[in-house]
Structures are given as structure tokens and as C-alpha cells.
């Protein structure tokens, strides 16, 4: 088994990652905010995966074993926070909305991580205030524990455009649609359409980070048209693919 790297202090810094680049599995004793000002960053834990484009940030609580992966060219901004600073009151990973003000605060703060001057400390205080009012976003793709659901998960991740019914896929993996539906509800608290939409949205964010055209993303992820995809994307993220929210 590969050894998990342990960091006593979560770093505050900026870092560039090429598309497909990774930060190996590790944990730290501090909380951390992870923000990509361009591209999209994915964080994976035993509980599933979270993905955040440039309009979102990731909250990683202290002690969480996790791995980062870059989608698209990434300018990564990491903010370490001691255990006493938990502006969100969260003990599990989460995706947060990043408005234009919070974006600039994170970018400015991580450019000078060793600055202990009063102006920099005031900047930090405002950043924490903005984090406290940042709403969570439903960008978590839970990892199934049931062997049957893992088979279903592998099929959907391999081809998010697979539009077969649960009955049809169930015959492939040797389970009825009723059994799979019950496992999804008990294991993940989701219906099959809800879970499939989450898988597709995660894959869509990865394709968009690599500058794939919106129509191509829609078709590769199983939507019948670009307009249908744009509507689902807007309802999930509050803005259209490729645009940024204005508030």
C-alpha cells in the first residue's frame, strides 16, 4: 500500500499544474481552501470526489486524506487555516461559491503567504468573512460502497452518454432495476437519474476545463442537445457553461 504523505501544516501558496497533473494522496493537520483561478480542480477522498471550476473553491477539513487532479491548465491557490479557524463550521469536504471579491482576496492572499504585515492580516480577515457567507454547491459525486453500484459507477464513468435504462444496464451487471434503485437510495440517497446527472455534470466540468466546445460536451455527456445541457448546467451552477457569475 502506498504511504500517505502527512503534512503537519497545510501550505498557503500558489502553484501551477498542467492538465492531468496531480498532487499525490496526503493529509494535513490544518484546514485548507483550494481554489483554481483557471481550469478545474478535482479532489478525491474515500467518500467520493468533488470538482470545482474557477467560480468555485474546495474546503478540505483537517485530517482528510485526499488527492488533487488538474483539468485544464491550472493556477492553484492554497490557503492553510489552523484548526481554530473554521469559518464554515464544516467537518467534511465541500464546494463553495466564489464571487469576484472572494476570488481577488484568495489570489492576493496566496501571492504573499509569508507577509505578516497588518494590511495583509486585514486582507485575511475580510477573506474569512467572505468564506463564512459563501454558499455550498452540490458538486459532490459520492463514491458507492456496494459492489453492484461500483459496477454501475464504472459503466457511467466510462461513458456518461450511456442512455440505457436501469433495467438494461442491470441485465449487464446481473441485478434488477429495483435492486439497483434500492441500493442507490440506501447507499447514496439518490435516484438513478439524479446520480447519473451528477456523473455527467462532473464529466462536463472536466471537458469544459479543457476548452471542449459546449455542443461537444453536451453530446459526450448524454444530453440530446446543447440547449438541454445548458439548462441543466445553469440550474446546477447558476450560470451557463463557459461564463462566470456576475455576483
Which residue numbers in the chain have pLDDT < 70?
Answer: 1-2, 138, 242-247
d(CA 182, CA 118): 56
**Best CA proximity match to 71, nearest among 201, 209, 230:** 209
User: What is the model's pTM?
Assistant: 0.79
Q: Is 176 helix (H, G, I), strand (E, B) or coil?
A: coil
pLDDT digits (tens, 9 = 90+) for 175-188: 999 999 999 998 88
Reduced to 3 states, what is the DSSP secondary structure of residue 64?
Answer: coil
Confirm if 105 and 130 have CB atoms less than 8 A apart. yes
Look up residue 33 and give its three cell numbers. 481552501
pLDDT at 246: 41
Q: Cα–Cα distance between 63 and 123 in angstroms, integer? A: 26
19-28 b/e with 16+ CB inside 10 Å = b?
bebebeebbb
pLDDT value of residue 247: 38
The DSSP code sequence of 27-63 is: EESSEEEEEEEEEEEEEEETTEEEEE-TTEEEEE-TT
Say if residues 145 and 187 touch (Cβ distance below 8 Å): yes
Q: Which domains does the chain have, with CATH numbers?
A: 5-140 (2.60.120.810), 144-237 (1.10.10.60)
Predicted pLDDT of residue 244: 52
Amino acid at each position: 500500500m502506498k504511504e500517505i504523505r502527512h503534512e503537519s501544516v497545510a501550505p498557503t501558496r500558489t502553484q501551477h499544474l498542467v492538465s492531468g497533473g496531480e498532487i499525490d494522496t496526503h493529509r494535513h493537520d490544518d484546514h485548507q481552501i483550494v481554489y483554481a483561478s483557471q481550469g478545474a480542480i478535482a479532489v478525491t477522498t474515500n467518500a467520493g470526489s468533488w470538482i470545482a471550476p474557477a467560480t468555485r473553491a474546495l474546503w478540505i477539513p483537517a485530517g482528510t486524506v485526499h488527492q488533487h487532479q488538474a483539468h485544464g491548465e491550472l493556477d492553484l491557490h492554497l490557503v492553510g487555516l489552523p484548526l481554530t479557524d473554521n469559518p464554515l463550521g464544516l467537518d467534511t469536504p465541500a464546494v463553495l461559491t466564489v464571487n469576484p471579491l472572494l476570488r481577488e482576496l484568495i489570489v492576493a492572499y496566496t501571492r504573499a503567504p509569508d507577509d505578516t504585515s497588518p494590511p495583509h492580516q486585514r486582507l485575511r480577515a475580510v477573506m474569512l468573512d467572505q468564506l463564512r457567507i459563501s454558499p455550498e454547491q452540490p458538486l459532490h459525486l459520492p463514491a458507492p460502497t456496494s459492489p453492484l453500484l461500483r459496477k454501475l459507477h464504472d459503466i457511467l464513468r466510462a461513458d456518461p452518454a450511456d442512455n440505457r435504462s436501469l433495467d438494461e444496464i442491470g441485465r449487464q451487471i446481473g441485478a434488477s432495476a429495483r435492486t439497483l434503485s434500492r441500493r442507490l437510495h440506501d447507499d447514496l440517497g439518490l435516484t438513478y437519474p439524479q446520480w447519473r446527472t451528477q456523473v455527467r455534470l462532473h464529466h462536463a466540468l472536466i471537458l469544459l476545463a479543457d476548452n471542449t466546445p459546449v455542443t461537444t460536451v453536451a453530446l459526450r455527456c448524454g444530453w440530446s442537445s446543447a440547449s438541454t445541457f445548458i439548462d441543466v448546467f445553469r440550474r446546477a451552477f447558476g450560470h451557463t457553461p463557459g461564463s462566470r457569475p456576475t455576483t
